[in-house]
């Protein structure tokens, strides 16, 4: 597990930023006919004041993110079109190309093939790399793609397509949308057409937060648009979140939504040899960071740790758009983190050891129970009542375990929540074992 987490330290923990505060970019204007116009001249960039970073103190949210409008015929300006006006931001954005290494989780954690059997992640499951590679990676993955909803968060072109055409864009054939892609993950995701303005372009997040929208920092919502647990609506195929409001944004209520919010319990797939209706959790950094127990949710944002301010050689201060772990940003560690943390790297490493070790242990145990259940089903050794209960308990156990395994902070974003999820997973495993080992 540690190799997975070393990778996550570079990309994974940094992935929570998924484009937060792309402060330089995405300023396509448009005429009434919907054609793109050249970016307007940039405002003068402020010179850096003497090195002074914001102290991590609790402050009220004084800014609300803008929400992108629908049906406007918006046109995407590529990130490269902003390079001349915002050279520092663009240079650091392109630095994401350096995060090019991919590790196979299936090789690092062979038990995943059992837990994900019958689903695409049992075919190919690699670690994330720099955001600049996302289109290339989604197109080349060994997992099959049926619809364009797989492009959600991978390309600005898909984001604009949904804004212009509505949910019908999600149900397009994957290959039919591919020729329309002109930009990868770029400025548009977080700014739409206004440089420096944080905009929620994925309206499913706005819908999910409902009345709590104004209570979440824009810099965190920028990341939460994509670093969140989602599903594809069974009818529309639209990318959708599993809660309405912050109070429901927790693993317990989200699982309850999947269990009771549909005519039949929602499942990403049903495992053939066990009959378990399984759920595949997707990178829930947003829900984890804002969850109960998060040490920094009240006074920090994703961008504070995974971007930060930096100073160019000419003294210009700007927002760093190289999305990485704060442990790989020495300037941030020295000027900010050190105000509260004597040795942040050592603290994070200790959390990783606790959470990753237990996650791997429980993953192996759960995979063993998967095999044991398959044998019981084949032998017909369980009553209908026992089988139904074991299947429900297995669904819950894998949900709570996966919520931790796929979360890219590996416990560092919210160790309390990660521990609670692993406790719940283990509790369900004990119930399964009591029936299978009777």
Q: How is 229-249 classified by DSSP, letter by letter?
A: -EEE-TTT--EEES-SSGGG-
CA dihedral 229, 358, 129, 28 (to 10 degrees): 30
Tell me the pLDDT tens digit for each residue of 280-299: 999 999 999 999 999 999 88
* pLDDT at residue 383 tops 70: yes
Cα-to-chain-centroid distance, residue 232: 15
Backbone angles phi, psi at 213, to 5 degrees: -55, -45
pLDDT at 2 exceeding the cut of 60 = no
pLDDT digits (tens, 9 = 90+) for 185-242: 889 999 998 888 999 999 999 999 999 999 999 999 999 999 999 999 999 999 999 9
Cβ atoms 255, 398 nearer than 8 A: no
What local confidence, expressed as pLDDT, does residue 119 receive? 96
User: Residue 317 phi/psi, 5° resolution?
Assistant: -95, 135
Q: Quick one: what percent of the chain has pLDDT higher than 90?
A: 77
- Averaged pLDDT for residues 247-263: 97
7: pLDDT strictly greater than 50: no
What is the phi-psi region of residue 411: left when phi exceeds 0, alpha when psi lies from -120 to 50, beta otherwise?
left
- State yes or no: pLDDT of 31 exceeds 80: no
Assess contact for 378 and 387: CB atoms under 8 A: no
Please state, in angstroms and rounded to a whole number, the distance separating the CA atoms of residues 174 and 166: 16
Task: Give the confidence band of 183 by pLDDT, cuts at 50, 70, 90.
Answer: confident
The stretch 167-190 carries a mean pLDDT of 93
The residue ranking higher by pLDDT, 186 or 399, is: 399
* pLDDT > 70: percent of the chain: 86
| DSSP class of 185 | S
Contacts made by residues 7-10, CB under 8 angstroms, sequence distance 24+: 7/101, 7/103, 7/127, 8/127, 8/408, 8/409, 8/410, 9/325, 9/327, 9/328, 9/348, 9/352, 9/410, 10/99, 10/324, 10/325, 10/328
> What is the token pair recorded at 191?
């700014």
The mean predicted confidence, pLDDT, of the chain is 87
Q: What is the pLDDT, as a whole number, of residue 37?
A: 34
Predicted pLDDT at 63: 67
The pLDDT value recorded for residue 59 is: 37
Residue 19, pLDDT > 50, answer no
pLDDT digits (tens, 9 = 90+) for 226-251: 999 999 999 999 999 999 999 999 99
Q: Which pLDDT score, from 0 to 100, does residue 194 have? A: 87
Residue 29: is its pLDDT beyond 90?
no
Angle between helices 344-379 and 415-436 (to 10 degrees): 20
pLDDT at 43: 37
Pick the more confident residue, 407 or 25.
407
184: confidence class by pLDDT, cuts 50, 70, 90: confident
Reduced to 3 states, what is the DSSP secondary structure of residue 200? strand
How many Cβ atoms from other residues are within 10 Å of residue 47's Cβ? 11
Task: Please report the pLDDT score of residue 39 as a whole number.
Answer: 44
Helix, coil or strand: residue 289: helix
Mean pLDDT computed over 140-167: 93
Q: For position 348, what pLDDT does the model report?
A: 95
**Residue 142: per-residue pLDDT:** 85
Identify whether the C-beta of residue 14 lies closer than 8 Å to the C-beta of residue 323.
yes
């Amino acid at each position: 597990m540690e190799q997975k987490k070393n990778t996550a330290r570079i990309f994974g923990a940094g992935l929570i930023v998924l484009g937060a505060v792309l402060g330089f970019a995405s300023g396509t204007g448009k005429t009434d006919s919907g054609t793109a116009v050249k970016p307007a001249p940039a405002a003068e960039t402020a010179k850096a004041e003497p090195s002074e970073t914001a102290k991590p103190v609790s402050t009220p949210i004084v800014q609300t993110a803008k929400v992108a409008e629908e049906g406007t015929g918006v046109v995407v300006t590529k990130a490269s079109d902003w390079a001349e006006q915002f050279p520092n931001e663009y240079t650091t954005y392109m630095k994401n190309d350096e995060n090019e290494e991919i590790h196979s989780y299936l090789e690092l954690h062979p038990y995943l093939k059992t837990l994900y059997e019958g689903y695409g992640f049992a075919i190919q499951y690699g670690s994330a790399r720099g955001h600049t590679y996302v289109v290339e990676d989604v197109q080349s993955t060994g997992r099959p793609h049926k619809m364009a909803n797989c492009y959600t968060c991978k390309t600005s072109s898909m984001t604009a397509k949904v804004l212009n055409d509505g949910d019908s864009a999600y149900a397009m054939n994957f290959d039919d949308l591919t020729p329309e892609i002109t930009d990868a993950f770029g400025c548009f995701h977080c700014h739409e057409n206004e440089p420096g303005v944080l905009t929620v372009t994925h309206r499913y997040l706005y819908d999910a937060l409902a009345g709590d929208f104004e209570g979440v920092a824009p810099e965190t919502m920028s990341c939460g648009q994509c670093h969140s647990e989602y599903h594809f609506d069974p009818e529309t195929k639209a990318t959708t979140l599993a809660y309405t409001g912050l109070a429901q944004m927790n693993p317990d209520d989200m699982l309850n939504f999947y269990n009771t919010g549909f005519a039949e319990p929602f499942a990403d797939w049903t495992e053939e040899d066990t009959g378990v209706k399984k759920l595949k959790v997707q990178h829930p950094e947003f829900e984890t960071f804002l969850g109960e127990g998060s040490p920094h949710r009240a006074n920090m944002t994703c961008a504070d740790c995974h971007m930060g301010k930096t100073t160019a050689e000419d003294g210009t201060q700007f927002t760093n758009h190289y999305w990485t772990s704060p442990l790989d940003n020495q300037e941030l560690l020295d000027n900010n983190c050190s105000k509260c943390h004597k040795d942040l790297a050592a603290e994070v490493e200790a959390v990783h050891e606790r959470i990753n070790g237990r996650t791997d242990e429980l993953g192996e145990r759960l995979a063993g129970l998967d095999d044991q259940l398959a044998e019981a089903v084949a032998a017909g050794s369980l009553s209908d009542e026992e089988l139904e209960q074991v299947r429900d308990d297995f669904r819950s156990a894998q949900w709570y375990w996966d919520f931790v395994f796929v979360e890219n902070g590996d416990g560092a974003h919210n160790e309390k929540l990660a521990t609670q999820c692993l406790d719940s997973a283990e509790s369900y495993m004990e119930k399964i074992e009591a029936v299978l080992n009777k």
